[in-house]
Structure 1
Amino acid sequence: MQDDAFFQENKIGDHVATIFDELVGFTYFVKNRDLRYVAFNKRLLQLFGVGDGTEILGKMDEDFIPDHIVRSIRKDDLKILKSGKPILNRVELVPTGNGFVDWSTTNKKPLYNYQGKVCGIIGVTRPFSQSTASLQQSDELNSALKLMHQSFRDNIAITKLATNASLSLSSFQRKFKSCFGMSPKEYMRHLKVQEACHKIVQTTQNFAEISYNCGFSDQSHFSREFTRIMKEPPSSYRSRFKAK
């Protein structure tokens, strides 16, 4: 769906939202300079939990997304509008609806009108996979990444991951941060929190059990890390999504 008036005013050709409707998990969107949605594919309706695109047109992220996530998105959006530079291959843990979170790769670029001026932002968020183009810049990280996803609960040593990738420790850490925007240790903390989110919503396990099953040293450590990454404590998260 799109706001035809926006595209006519800026003399921009037809956008490609319908193409992304055929790509499972891909979210396509366009925002104007006021950061209001003017185009998007069907996936955005699912993420925002609405049944009709007219409920999104002209709206902003804060109408659908928790404040702490909006702050991060807005920071990037304003940076793009000001600098005219894109943000590419941003790997991040993002909500996918109903309390679940998953890894996604986001690309956002400035959108130019017929006068060559930035009139908005165009972006695509897609599911992250170690087999996708996200790792083309560092193919040697593939085996280490797979090991991290298999063994994050066991607090695998970073040195072992570097060896698995046939890299020195410093080279592995540098390449990993360049590709993912965070250190290997921080990535594994996010993996633990991702697993915890699913268990909080899907199971009746208490927080001590979730802490143990997700590889945290104790419940206090689990609570601190969960709150730091998700911006709310586990108890609040469970109450919010179990109520749905």
Structure 2
Amino acid sequence: MLKNNDKNIKGQHLLNDLSIKQVIEVFDLMPDTKFWIKDLEGNFVHVNKYFLEHSGIRSLSNIIGYNDNHIAAAHIAEQFIVDDKKVIQGHVVNDRLEMNSIKNGKLSWFTTSKRALRNQSGEVVGTYGITRHLNKTSEVLSGLNAVQSPVEYIKNNYMNDICINELAGVAHLSVSALERRFKKYLAKTPKQFLNEIRLENARRLLVESNRSISDIANATGFSDHSYFSKQFKKMFDQLPSQFRESQITAQTSERKIP
């Protein structure tokens, strides 16, 4: 029988014999989980099979060297790019709950984690991460169902003046119970969630329309233009005008993957 020290040595030899390629290919075995590696410029170095399937891309060679602007809607790609820059600077993303579109165009729940990728010298050389599609995770779904009605109400009425008592009534809960559920299952307050939904829709309109910034602010529930700009910069690290200008530049320089 091998002693513990002998087992450790044997295990270390096995790890030394494994190639990085073999390790990352493990992610091809994970259904409903997207895995990717990017370089410092945000270009894809590797993605797993589910990532390709979810993105509608036929082969790995078709995505290597491209970035999020080539495969996602502009307002969504921008958030991925902002996230990557934060991760490179030392920020860590842990199981962040978010809504995104699936292949049929419908919205679904995902959870995302990201890390900086370092070489043997400890230098940051890129980023990597996973995004899990949660529709088949019963425990998470039960939690999401607990806030489903107020979440749907916010999604459909974000442009209106919504108060916390109104949301509590929709959920048939007290205000305190509603806030506890949002904090437990979404890690944010109802007000924070409403604000994020409004800002996400504002970001989409900045890309998809030529409406003025003040008009977009009003259309997404912000009656105060300066407050809208302040909240937008806080969430996306850019003022609305800067974001729109950056998207115009990106759209003229980038092309989608064929």
With structure 1 as the length reference, what TM-score do the two structures score?
0.62
Query: Residue 76 of structure 1: which of 77, 83, 92 is its match?
Result: 92
Structure 1 position 210 matched with structure 2 position 225:
no
Q: 1:159-187, CA deviations, whole angstroms, 9 ceiling, x for partnerless residues?
A: 12112212221111011012111111011
**2: distance between equivalents of 1:150 and 1:143?**
11
1:161-172 mapped onto 2 (5 Å cutoff): 161-172=167-178
Residue 29 of structure 1 corresponds to which residue in structure 2?
Answer: 36
Residue 110 of structure 2 corresponds to which residue in structure 1?
Answer: 105
Query: Residue 144 of structure 1: which of 147, 150, 157 is its match?
Result: 150
**1: distance between equivalents of 2:27 and 2:246?**
35
Report deviation, 1:92. 3.9
1:179-190 mapped onto 2 (5 Å cutoff): 179-190=185-196
Q: Is the 8 A contact 1:193 1:226 kept in 2?
A: yes
1:21-100 mapped onto 2 (5 Å cutoff): 27-29=34-36, 39-41=46-48, 43=51, 52=62, 54-55=64-65, 66=81, 69-72=84-87, 74-76=90-92, 87-88=94-95, 90-92=96-98
Residue 184 of structure 2 corresponds to which residue in structure 1?
Answer: 178
**2: distance between equivalents of 1:229 and 1:201?**
16
Greater helix share, 1 or 2?
Answer: 2
Residue 116 of structure 1 corresponds to which residue in structure 2?
Answer: none
SS in structure 2 at match of 1:55 = coil
Residue 256 of structure 2 corresponds to which residue in structure 1?
Answer: none
Q: Is the 8 A contact 1:29 1:122 kept in 2?
A: yes
Q: 1:30-85, CA deviations, whole angstroms, 9 ceiling, x for partnerless residues?
A: 69xxxxx8852263796xxx9645538xxxxxxx96456432585326xxxxxxxx
**1: distance between equivalents of 2:17 and 2:184?**
35
Residue 255 of structure 2 corresponds to which residue in structure 1?
Answer: none
Query: Residue 28 of structure 2: which of 7, 13, 17 is its match?
Result: 17
Q: Is the 8 A contact 1:211 1:222 kept in 2?
A: yes
SS in structure 1 at match of 2:221 = coil
Structure 1's 132 and 206: CA in aligned 2 closer, same or farther, altered over 3 A?
farther
Question: How many pairs align?
Answer: 197
With structure 2 as the length reference, what TM-score do the two structures score?
0.59
Output the aligned Cα RMSD.
4.3
